[in-house]
Structure 1
């Protein structure tokens, strides 16, 4: 209990130095008040010791304790209860545009590019507590998997369902970006962000990537672009086996980095290249740091004064000393 007590006026504790001075003063004063007489013999005198006379210093002790309580009361002991409330003052709306073409099943990232992306993106979504997030998937075409929402469980569940085969194969970067812009154009958020990920070059769709980037600029949307894939050759799906499964073969990783860099530069974002799982994780961590939601914290402090019981206790001791002085100890004072 005492560990939660603090003192508003601790400098009053210096007055406690008066207590030992008062004790010294009382000792000298008591000696002077005690009369003495020298006689040759005590024979013939009846010597008796009064119990009350021995308790006379109790009056001084009571007064001293009262003074100590008053000094502590002057120091204003109090408890402090701090409560806080946070208010998001600048929210961010984020749309993640994910390439789901067959090349995203390449095994240069483990277990493959798409699975590695889903794992990292899931962690990213969980950390964006105060933001709204939406999902767009694209390959030969594009569609909105989840509109922007603050319900992270909906977004995470939708992300788990993202797989190859949702759309015709291909890489329509312009379509994916345009669909993401469409989800954000009506947003009233202070900051609007698209995270566009692909592992190839634009080879499908009827909207050019530059056109989509122009739309992003018009609506004040920042685009972070990520090229995913190792340097050189990667084990990539190249055909189907008789049982319908993919047949893998080595294929050169082709990413239109110039295009992704240009989109990022023109919209105020940044371009990143993820060549392995760790790099991909670092990229999302970097974006997480760059796009911080401003949160205002309000702190409320409640003080509860504790000096009143000390004052009452001191007054009680003074009253007790007064009563004893004028009743039991009256003949000794």
Structure 2
């Protein structure tokens, strides 16, 4: 109950040092308050009255009243703080994900696609105020989910992305163009595409340069990520009789020149992810570069608690006055 009470003027508690001084003053002046009479004997006088013994009660009431006044002056109060946030700069983001067979390469653990989905999920969770959409592409492209503020939908769609949903190949231009199409009508102040691939453009009927020009026209910034280790990687090269992949070592080929050009033209950056840790660092870096501006308003309401103490002090003083006037009047 009392844990939530704060004091606006706690320095006034130093006034409690006056109480010991008042007690000392009372002790030293007590003898002077009543006249003394020396008698050889008190035989015949009744000394059973309890009123003289209760006289210190009057002083105790004054001390309690003074304590209540000091506490009231310190202004006990409770504080209720409420906050309201306002997003002043919204960001719409489309994540374009390569789902070609080479994304099953095992140079990232357990493979490129699984590693990407794990890191991308963390990235989505850290963008609570932004709208995010997903585009998947291989030999062609499609919108997995349009831009939405419902992160549960985006995360569910991300989990559902697997190899085999599209014709194999790497249509970078198609993936980028589909992403631009998702963002071109957006009214957000900032529009972002994060395009990830592990190969070279070898499919699709839209050239990457054409898609980049569209991104420039609609003011869409593109971050590009080349995924794959330097050198050779254990990659699917053929099918076994049971329909599973036959893996073999293959040279990692990423058109870094193209990806750098797309990023530079649209105002973004190019990154190279050679392992799981590097991929995670890249998304963390993009998360820092594209921060949503949030304005926080804080409201504080104080509820003053000194009034009951004032009434208590007045009540104690009135009680002391009544006792002094009506009950202790005969000997004070």
- Please, what TM-score do these two structures have when normalized by structure 1? 0.93
For structure 1, the residue ranges without an aligned partner over 5 or more in a row are none
Deviation at 1:314, TM superposition (A): 0.8
Deviation at 1:49, TM superposition (A): 5.1
Mapping of residues 1-333 of structure 1, within 5 Å: 1-38=1-38, 41-42=40-41, 46=45, 48=47, 50-333=49-332
Cα distance between partner residues in 1 of 2:60 and 2:169: 95
Segment of structure 1 superposing worse, 284-293 or 175-184? 284-293
Kindly report the root-mean-square deviation, in angstroms, between the aligned alpha carbons of the 2 structures.
1.8
SS at match of 2:253: coil
Deviation at 1:113, TM superposition (A): 1.1
Deviation at 1:267, TM superposition (A): 1.8
Cα distance between partner residues in 2 of 1:114 and 1:11: 63
Segment of structure 1 superposing worse, 248-257 or 166-175? 166-175
SS at match of 1:183: helix
- Deviation sequence 1:137-162 (CA, Å, 0-9, x none): 11121111111011112212221221
Deviation at 1:58, TM superposition (A): 1.0
For structure 2, the residue ranges without an aligned partner over 5 or more in a row are none
Deviation at 1:78, TM superposition (A): 0.7
Contact 1:235 1:249 in 2 (8 A): yes
Cα distance between partner residues in 2 of 1:322 and 1:245: 99
Deviation at 1:97, TM superposition (A): 0.4
Cα distance between partner residues in 2 of 1:246 and 1:103: 11
Runs of 4+ more than 6 Å apart: none
Cα distance between partner residues in 2 of 1:65 and 1:161: 72
Cα distance between partner residues in 2 of 1:19 and 1:235: 85
SS at match of 1:314: helix
SS at match of 2:326: coil
Cα distance between partner residues in 2 of 1:8 and 1:240: 77
Cα distance between partner residues in 2 of 1:51 and 1:44: 18
Deviation at 1:65, TM superposition (A): 1.2
Contact 1:105 1:237 in 2 (8 A): yes
Deviation at 1:22, TM superposition (A): 2.2
Cα distance between partner residues in 2 of 1:62 and 1:208: 93
SS at match of 2:271: strand
SS at match of 1:316: helix
Distance change in 2, residues 1:161/1:47 (3 Å): closer
Distance change in 2, residues 1:285/1:43 (3 Å): closer
Cα distance between partner residues in 2 of 1:163 and 1:221: 27
Cα distance between partner residues in 2 of 1:210 and 1:267: 11
Cα distance between partner residues in 2 of 1:294 and 1:147: 23
Cα distance between partner residues in 2 of 1:44 and 1:127: 93
- Deviation sequence 1:238-291 (CA, Å, 0-9, x none): 222233322222110000112112222222222111111222122222222222
Deviation at 1:35, TM superposition (A): 2.5
